[in-house]
A and B are shown apart, each in its own frame.
Chain A
């Protein structure tokens, strides 16, 4: 601690959050992973400008064309073409949109539901807690993928249905974290002080407790996002996800399955894309946890 830090004016806006952020930035591996994640996001957003070809344009003369560097390949089709002659690189770039959008949407929906449910059961206690906790226990008892497959079979495929099917169970993860943190925080003196000043229950839950428990929730949610992306790919692989011709990494892997011996590139490159994005999210979120979780502070 330097001397300047003891004078309050010099770091007026130096909140705990900013200090944690600085700690995250100092972790090089996590930072590099965060950059990879950002690159994927940029790729997804600007897909029409980045992709060299139309992802859905078929060309049977290019059926199963090898990658650019292999014999018979063309540099214009860097990662080769699939069974319908579509450019694999372009499809991966467009596929990032589906993976990231579904991952984000599921996490945002699930985290919001989880925060409300967790706050309600942790702060209000009583029958609210009993009902919510039992629902959480029941949902935790189901194997995730089978649960999602069942829901997709019931609702039918489609983008919004995937998001619903995954969020339907995903919210229990943040809900449990929020409930635990709320139980600890509700007993703290400043919550009592807020009650003594006439604060309403909603005010205490959203204004007093929530800002103090947000860090672990953000960390858990980012870790879970990688999980959701894999689940989406699994559903798409099984044909229950986004429907053709829309490019999705999971369905691209499935497409190449029949030709895996003669045309390895059709399944491998989308598989690598899943691997790279999930790995990057995992490493980055570990870095987030190290920086934001006080138990790792020392």
Chain B
């Protein structure tokens, strides 16, 4: 068994729109090791969610995965039939949605929603009858207990609207983890929650990751979350990875001007009184991009050399960044 769980190479996902072809993800490489937590950071529209929708085979029309290989646990996910892919989703790779408040079905009880995943994927259950129902019930109670929901027995009979936002996020995590997936993709698990609940939910994910030994991809735009919970971080900009490496190194010594700009735009107690320095300008339109550095228009250190395509360069052991300012020989 190799250490690498997910290995994506050269992923390209395009959307055919009336205005033209939008390349939402352009040549993205992702690797996730077993038991690792990878943080994916970027602003809205940088392609972080689409990258992982592509991995799950959930890109909606008019979008499609155009190029690239997606290898998960030694299997090529792009070569799987829709039925085989369904068996992977939920059992091997689970995903929690951005908005916990709308991601649970309002017409079904929480118990029914957990039971559905188990029904679909869990092969260790007794084949049918009362024994099966009892086993599903026991597992559901166990999952709610795992995510810290008290009196789980009673709460299984309740509907989502009877739970608070933080509780719903926990339930979503419980549903995602019901079949003990090898990889959990948490797409902005905390955006809809207030700060104290955010911390609890992230603690919970870290804790369960350690206990079940699964890998986690944490998609977020909060570098603080990444700094606290992730082993490695990947920064995305306009559909490309611009920097990746171990969290402490990337945050402590960012190489790409975009990462530097992101870090400089975070308010910090040490910088009290100084104005926050936003990154000037806007993300470029993804239709008809020129073959140049995509950060060119907003970069404070741009040169004419940036008008040629820029490839990822090694920026130290286990580190890469997409900028011509990085000396190749540092690797």
Residues of A within 8 A of B (CB): 8-9, 11-16, 188-190, 192-200, 203, 207-208, 211-212, 214
Instruction: Give the distance to chain A from B80, nearest Cβ to Cβ, in Å.
Output: 12
Distance of A13 Cα from B162 Cα, bound (Å): 10
Distance of A207 Cα from B117 Cα, bound (Å): 12
Query: Which of chain B's residues have a CB closer than 8 A to the CB of A192?
Result: 58, 97, 103
Interface centre among A14, A190, A200 (most CB of B within 10 A): A190
Instruction: Give the distance to chain A from B58, nearest Cβ to Cβ, in Å.
Output: 6
Distance of A136 Cα from B99 Cα, bound (Å): 36
Contact of B89 among A9, A12, A195 (CB under 8 A): A195
The answer to whether residues A195 and B58 also contact, given A189-B97, A189-B99, A203-B120 and a CB cut-off of 8 A, is yes
Residues of B within 8 A of A (CB): 56, 58, 86-91, 94-99, 102-108, 116-117, 120-121, 154-155, 157-159, 161-163, 172, 175-176
A12 touches B157 (CB 8 A): yes
Contact of B105 among A12, A198, A208 (CB under 8 A): A208
Contact of A212 among B90, B94, B106 (CB under 8 A): B106
Distance of A11 Cα from B97 Cα, bound (Å): 28
Instruction: Give the distance to chain A from B214, nearest Cβ to Cβ, in Å.
Output: 15
Closest to B157 in A: A12
A198 touches B90 (CB 8 A): yes
The answer to whether residues A197 and B107 also contact, given A13-B157, A15-B159, A207-B116 and a CB cut-off of 8 A, is no
Contact of A190 among B89, B90, B102 (CB under 8 A): B102
Give the A-B pair count, Cβ closer than 8 A: 85
| Given A196-B95, A196-B97, A207-B116, 9 new contacts (CB under 8 A) | A16-B159, A190-B103, A192-B97, A196-B89, A197-B175, A198-B88, A198-B89, A200-B86, A208-B105
Contact of A211 among B56, B90, B96, B105 (CB under 8 A): B105
Instruction: Give the distance to chain B from A205, nearest Cβ to Cβ, in Å.
Output: 13
Distance of A13 Cα from B161 Cα, bound (Å): 12
Closest to B167 in A: A8
The answer to whether residues A193 and B163 also contact, given A198-B88, A199-B86 and a CB cut-off of 8 A, is no
Query: Which of chain B's residues have a CB closer than 8 A to the CB of A188?
Result: 102
B158 touches A8 (CB 8 A): yes
B90 touches A8 (CB 8 A): no
Contact of B120 among A11, A190, A197 (CB under 8 A): A197
Distance of A67 Cα from B3 Cα, bound (Å): 93
Query: Which of chain B's residues have a CB closer than 8 A to the CB of A11?
Result: 162
